[in-house]
Amino acid sequence: MILHVDMDAFYASIEQRDRPELRGRPVVVGGSEGRGVVTAASYEAREYGIHSAMPGSRAIKLCPHADFVRGRLDHYASVGRAVREIFHRFTPVVQPLSLDEAFLDVSGTIRLHGSPREIGIAIRETIRRELDLPASVGIAPLKFVAKIASDIGKPNGFVEVPADGVREFLDPLPVSRLWGVGKVGQTKLQRLGYRTIADLRVKEVEALKSQLGRWGEHLWNLANGIDRRRVVVDHLAKGIGHERTFSEDLSDIESLNAVVSYLSEQTARRLRRARRLASTITLKYRREDFQTFSRARKLSAPTDSTLEILQVAEELLLEMRSREPRSVRLLGISLGGLTDADAPKQLNLFGEETGENASSKVDTLSDQIASKLGKHSVYRASSHQWVDRKKDKRQF
């Protein structure tokens, strides 16, 4: 069985824990004084319509009496490591998805720690007791079902879906609960008469494929409880990545370049925060028909430079577009071959102010600004079109 454990409003909950006077109040991390964007919002703030990636000025208008606090990303990362350490007490098979959520396969530790339900309860109680933070747990035989279960139970929820209850659990849910179905996809499915997961399940797979291509087959598999993905151990330790599925397929190179710029910035920032260097860069590219491709390049020397990562990613995108010119529904960038950034490095013998050193200073400054004002408070001009669109359309 698989557990999906997701911390509830992680950043905001940490602030409420550390400052008891904030408990029960609407708390917004980032976006203070109308600057930058919201990084996280407590559930009390969400009741006013505030959500992450919202401009701070908009959040203030929605809830002027909210408590706006500056983000402390290093502190949140430290707490995230403590959460992950608790996960590893119960199973070595942990796949972190971010600082605040992970998949856990507990099939091999049932004799040690009890049933999956008992393990889930113990994990949630341990997090509450040791870290004084709420978490939601979903348990199911499939990854995507465990994820849906934890989402439905939020906040501080606990939902278990037995192996023989997957169909009963999924059938009444809206199609938007399935992985890969955004607002545009939901509208398209509803136009075809598919409103619930059951509507997809009872349809012949060939009929769905004729209507929706490979995406239709993907949806049919999920609706019928078919998900062969396993929990991947140490996912973040082996690589760091960022990807985005678009609410509308993209085809113009200007928009795609803006997305690549944004993804490069966010991935490089995570790399530096983890004190790692990358030696390979991979571009993931999913077409409108759900066919997925990737291209990778090995670097001559490991790097954590946003500029270097961006330059390689843009070259990979151009190579991919020349081969696959159709519209794109997903782009992703992942960094692999990670090494310790604190390991000894060969220095410039002449001590010159090289372009590399100047780029490093820009990265350091932008990281500092982002940690204080939110990740969208500072970004390259080449990312502007995508960040602007993201704020307006709330695509992810």
The annotation places the binding site for Mg(2+) at: 6, 100
Report the alpha-carbon distance of residue 54 to residue 238 in Å, rounded.
Answer: 32
Q: What angle do CA 13, 17, 20 make, to 5 degrees?
A: 125
- 302: Cα within 13 Å, side-chain hemisphere: 18
| Exposed/middle/buried for residue 173 (C-beta within 10 Å: 0-12, 13-18, 19+) | middle
Output the DSSP codes for 75-116. Answer: HHHHHHHHHHHHHHHH-S-EEEEETTEEEEE-GGGHHHH--H
Report the alpha-carbon distance of residue 195 to residue 333 in Å, rounded.
Answer: 32
| 73-90 helix and 253-273 helix, angle to the nearest 10 degrees | 70
Task: Provide the annotated binding site.
Answer: 6, 100
Report the alpha-carbon distance of residue 270 to residue 86 in Å, rounded.
Answer: 22
The continuous run of DSSP H or E covering 392 comes out as helix 384-393
- 15 in catalytic set: no
**Which of 249, 274, 268 lies closest to 330 in space, CA to CA?**
249
Distances (CA, A) of 284 to 148, 242, 263, 331, 372: 25, 10, 11, 6, 30
- Per annotation, catalytic residue among 44, 101, 160, 314: 101
CB within 8 Å of 29: residues ≥ 6 apart = 11, 12, 15, 38, 39, 40, 41, 69, 70, 71
- What is the four-CA torsion angle of 60, 63, 67, 70, rounded to 10 degrees? -40
Assign 52 to helix, strand or coil.
Answer: coil
Report the alpha-carbon distance of residue 337 to residue 239 in Å, rounded.
Answer: 7
- Active site positions, annotated: 101
